[in-house]
Structure 1
């Protein structure tokens, strides 16, 4: 059974840049993930639970573990000397890392949602971390700017997530399939457990917050009505956790579509393009699925600001195409 490091070395030809730099990136991710995993697993026994009493840049109530995860991942990336800039969903501005003498030539931009689904912390529902990595736009000698972060999702060289649930699993892709590694806490090692994950060709799960039904557009409503018609040829079932990582992980394995559309109150959608939609869209396509905002491919959207929100749909191709057809017909 491969460890994560062994798997990266074995498949080094699939990554066009330095293998050492990729190993350093994952060293940062693994170290931070294990710290967050440990903190989550004892959350009911510590004071690191509940609201921090502060609002984050998104205007959302920041949980204590949000801040812990943010700080842990940022510090971990800072000490591996391959990352020159970081953007976090919990931070208003980009974080520039000063170049050190032993920095590798391969310089990377990291965008991260340190703790997705943090509103579920108090009730022991699976939550996660989402990460996205780009090559810096220009020479390492030039200063990092906001434009290094505003790249189309198709330019990602690495994307993934960690899901903290009944087990802690790290899932990633460098553009050659999607692979999952489960943490063995007794050794602190991630082992390959889910090689070449792909969406089932036909899915039957739809994941959407039906509590917002009256605020949805007509196309979304018609799709939900279609899914709810029960007959022998239409056996869709609704499953919604409220944590993007958890919903996506289940749907990628069992076959289902995830939908977070625009609403009357959120005409631009709610999920962030850079921290959530781009990396999940990258994984979706690598797993044989499709990711869309209802009208266009997510990975082709040119970001215009750091915390941009968009409607988001991802899942098996046939389900996403069907929903897009409803949107086109009724909107």
Structure 2
């Protein structure tokens, strides 16, 4: 691997392409256009309330969420930067109900781009980190050559991803990317206007003492999740025999970046709030690209019950439970989902010696 800080994103992609002499270079060109969209969004996010010309917000998207003005602008930026280049057969976004076909004046290509244009936008008003998430898939041959694009073209398991990544708009703007050979991190050099390689080979430590979960939802958790969190909170006096720290940023990109940089486990599990929604995060736009990065970095990504990348998507905006991070911790959470639930002491069938017995303290 190259020395950190010496290679631009362009050079990195050229070196990756040399692994595949038969490659046409279209993927490289597509990823550079995606990175350009991320630069444009980073600049807009950085101006904050000083920015002018933002589109009106307040509408509800297909997810039932109120769109921020920057959600709409980021979505438009991704479309504008990528629809003309001839590398795509179509795009799909968290902010659009249906796939976006390539407009007729432009040529079609062999890839599909799916993205969450501005993850964590609810944090904008408190100036917390937000980001963009993207995934590249191969388009079916007939969709690349003229057939009308349809939703089914995008319903591919995460294992079929050609590339995935995210941009983080924080104190520094970063691009974290995998093209299937590990994970690399790039930092935007504002003097050059280029993403420069700063983390050549990101690896997730297999074990951790840090976890992230929204404990306000504890009353809705399934028993295996509650068991895991209770054991972490018990610290040295509990079955884990070590203390844990808990984190919660409420921005998936920021949570993923922390775990890629220093390890940890993130849980946004399936719960009992709404039987119609088996989870909160979107499979195609969030779980698959983040899961791809985590597994390329040696971690593990799961629904809590099974590997997330193996799931066959059923709908464009499908939601799932999502657990990812240090491999040992995610494997433990999966194991808890498959083990019989521990029998509470109070339900033991011997009445004299149960918690509510003659010998109760």
Indicate whether the TM-score tops 0.5.
Answer: yes
In the alignment, which residue of structure 1 is the partner of 2:183? 178
Matches within 5 A, 1:265-280: 265-267=273-275, 268-280=278-290
Structure 2 residue 242 is the aligned partner of structure 1 residue 234: yes
Residue among 101, 111, 115 paired with 2:114? 111
Would you say the 8 A contact 2:55–2:72 is kept in 1?
no
2:211 aligned residue (206, 212, 221) = 206
DSSP 3-state at the match of 1:192: strand
SS in 2 for 1:54: coil
Look up the match of 2:225: 220
Alpha-carbon distance in structure 2 between the residues aligned to 1:279 and 1:17: 25
- Partner residue, 2:298: 288
Structure 1 or 2, whichever has the larger Rg, is: 2
C-alpha distance in 1 between matches for 2:274 and 2:208: 28
CA distance in 2, matches of 1:114, 1:235: 37
Q: Is 2:32 the partner of 1:27?
A: yes
Which whole-Å deviations, capped at 9, do the CAs of 1:64-100 have from their partners, x for residues lacking one? Answer: 0000000000110112110111000000000110466
Partner of 1:81: 86
Match status 1:141 vs 2:149: no
- Are the equivalent residues in 2 in contact too, given 1:130–1:279 (CA < 8 A)? yes
For residues 99 and 135 of structure 1, what CA distance do their matches in structure 2 show? 20
Going from structure 1 to structure 2, the CA distance change for 1:21 and 1:3 (only over 3 Å counts) comes to same
Tell me if the contact between 1:51 and 1:61 (Cα under 8 Å) persists in the aligned partners.
no
For the pair 1:244 / 2:249, whether they are aligned, the reply is no
- Structure 2's unaligned 5+ residue stretches are 1-5, 342-361
1:11: Cα distance to partner?
Answer: 2.0
**Which residue does the alignment assign to 2:12?**
7
Q: For residues 209 and 217 of structure 1, what CA distance do their matches in structure 2 show? A: 14
List alignment gaps of at least 5 residues for structure 1.
Answer: none
1:206 shift after superposition? 0.5
Indicate the SS of the match to 1:206. strand
Question: Are residue 129 (structure 1) and residue 139 (structure 2) matched?
Answer: no
Map of 1:188 onto structure 2: 193
User: Distance in 2 between the 1:272 and 1:221 partners?
Assistant: 23
* 1:327 aligned onto 2:327: no
Q: How many pairs are equivalent?
A: 329
Match of 2:348 in 1: none
> 2: CA distance between counterparts of 1:322 and 1:192?
34
Instruction: Find the aligned partners of 2:86 and 2:191 in 1 and give their Cα distance.
Output: 29
Report if aligned partners of 1:130, 1:162 keep a CA contact under 8 Å in 2.
yes
Take 2:103 and 2:54, find their aligned partners in 1: how far apart are those partners?
Answer: 33
Note the alpha carbon deviations across 1:274-325, whole angstroms, 9 max, x for none: 0000111111110001111111111111011100000001111100011112
Task: Tell me what 2:269 maps to.
Answer: 261
The 3-state SS of whatever aligns with 2:309 is: helix
Bigger mean CA deviation after superposition, 43-52 or 88-97: 43-52
Q: Which residue, 301, 309, 317 being the options, matches 2:311?
A: 301
**1:59-78 maps to which residues of 2 (within 5 A)?**
59-78=64-83
Of 34-43 and 5-14, more deviation after overlay is shown by: 5-14
CA shift, 1:329, in A, is: 2.8
| C-alpha separation in 2, matches of 1:75 and 1:27 | 14
| Distance (Å, rounded) in 1 between the aligned partners of 2:211 and 2:274 | 21
Paired residues of 2:268 and 2:280 also in contact (CA < 8 A): yes
Moved runs in structure 1, 4+ residues, more than 6 A?
Answer: 48-51
Larger displacement relative to structure 2 (179-188 or 47-56): 47-56
Aligned in 2, Cα 1:59/1:251: closer, same or farther, shift over 3 Å?
same
